[in-house]
Amino acid sequence: MLLIHVTTAQGATHDVTAQTGQTLLEAVLASGVDGLLGECGGCCSCATCHCMIDDAQLALLPAPDSSEAQMLDFVATERMPGSRLACQIKLQAQHQGLKLTLPERQF
Ligand code: FES
């Protein structure tokens, strides 16, 4: 089991449990924390699963592939250095303690 730390746009913090093999989107949706939508179901075509990964932890993730990089141009709020699409992040053991912030809105 992994523990992920989620901060909402309003500043509330939540510890979210996740399983390796889940996507970050699946883990946050299952936790009930509001802020991600995931309207396309994770096929990288909606950009409503935008989140910002803590800068210090970006190196834990592989770089966005070309479809994610393109979709990141369509996020509803400002794109930040740590901006990623949560549906494209497959959780693995090294993501224990991952910290992310959710944007104000997804559309
Ligand atoms: S859920 Fe649609 S791009 Fe991630």
Q: For 53-74, write each residue's pLDDT tens digit.
A: 999 999 999 999 999 999 999 9
- Cα 49 to middle of ligand 1, angstroms: 5
- Cα 105 to middle of ligand 1, angstroms: 14
- Taking 70 as the pLDDT cut, the residues of the chain under it are none
The CB-based long-range contact list for 52-59 (8 Å cut-off, 24+ gap) reads 52/80, 52/82, 52/83, 52/84, 52/100, 52/101, 52/102, 52/103, 53/82, 53/83, 53/84, 53/98, 53/99, 53/100, 54/82, 54/98, 54/99, 54/100, 54/101, 55/81, 55/82, 57/98, 57/99, 58/82
Domain total in the chain:
1
What is the predicted pLDDT for the residue at 62? Answer: 95
Q: Per the domain annotation, does 49 fall within a domain? A: yes
What is the predicted pLDDT for the residue at 51? Answer: 98
Q: Give this prediction's pTM.
A: 0.97
Q: Per the domain annotation, does 107 fall within a domain? A: no
What Cα–Cα distance (Å) separates residue 43 from each residue in 12, 48, 67, 81?
28, 11, 10, 22
Q: Per the domain annotation, does 84 fall within a domain? A: yes
What is the predicted pLDDT for the residue at 15? Answer: 98
Q: Supply the range of the domain harboring residue 31.
A: 2-101
What is the predicted pLDDT for the residue at 95? Answer: 97
With a Cβ cut-off of 6 Å, ligand 1 is lined by 25, 38-40, 42, 44-49, 71, 85, 87
Q: Per the domain annotation, does 11 fall within a domain? A: yes
What is the predicted pLDDT for the residue at 1? Answer: 95
- Cα 72 to middle of ligand 1, angstroms: 10
Atom of ligand 1 nearest to the CA of 40: 2
What CATH number has the domain bearing residue 11?
Answer: 3.10.20.30
